[in-house]
Amino acid sequence: EVQLVESGGGLVQPGGSLRLSCAASRFTFSSFAMSWVRQAPGKGLEWVSTITDSGGRTNFADSVQGRFSISRDNSKNTLYLQMNNLRADDTAIYYCAKGGWLGFFDPWGQGTLVTVSS
Amino acid sequence: EIVLTQSPATLSLSPGERATLSCRASQSVSSYLAWYQQKPGQAPRLLIYDASNRATGIPARFSGSGSGTDFTLTISSLEPEDFALYYCQQRSNWPRTFGQGTKVEIK
């Protein structure tokens, strides 16, 4: 069974930075696109970013374009989300998910909570 | 951006009843639509992909239909574990977008 485990969340001040990681296992990580999706407290789902299997192409939501970057290390089976210039409205649970480029998000990790507050 | 509008916002039903959830897209997404289920404190789970295909391990009581701009998720006979939030999502265009969700609650 595919396993995705996010880490790196926490409390950060507005304007600060944070890097999330997603450790993948039990599938051939280098063969699949990967994505980040977030959910603000009590709100719906918002797609954040997707990266292709090789890492050669990426896409971002307008709300994070220019502030967030996505990357992956296929030798470590790990996906990353670098978040800079964080704002209060970035507060959310951040989920990593397999897929999202040519397919849908399946499965999802358990999520990591990012809180942006002074 | 393709806007997905789900209706109703809340569906109050009893176990054993049939649930019909709607998702309407602001422009055609062909069949590139999925449905997810989310329970409190859990990550979403893929139920249906490409409008009508059940994901691995999803019970047959879940079915999806539609194409273009109008889609339906049907739960033929609600089980206690089916009371949850349901989201639709399109992969036709960037940005990927989700509907706002439909809550299926126990009546």
pLDDT tens digits for range A10-23: 999 999 999 999 99
- pLDDT attached to residue A74: 98
CA angle in degrees (0–180, nearest 5) for A101-A90-B105: 75
Evaluate whether B92 touches B29 at the Cβ level (below 8 Å): yes
* Nearest residue, CB atoms, B44 vs list A100, A103, A108: A108
Q: Do B43 and A109 touch (CB under 8 A)?
A: yes
- With beta carbons under 8 A apart, name residues in chain B contacting A108: 43-45
- pLDDT attached to residue B101: 98
Evaluate whether A16 touches A117 at the Cβ level (below 8 Å): no
pLDDT band at B50; cut points 50, 70, 90:
very high
Q: Which residues 8-27 of A have a C-beta within 8 angstroms of B? A: none
Q: Do A45 and B55 touch (CB under 8 A)?
A: no
For A56-79, the pLDDT digits (tens) are 999 999 999 999 999 999 999 999
- With beta carbons under 8 A apart, name residues in chain A contacting B34: 104-105
CA distances from residue B60 to A111, B44, B76, B86 in whole angstroms, order as listed:
28, 19, 9, 17
pLDDT band at A99; cut points 50, 70, 90:
very high
Cα first-last separation, chain A:
40
Question: Token pair for residue B24?
Answer: 């309407």
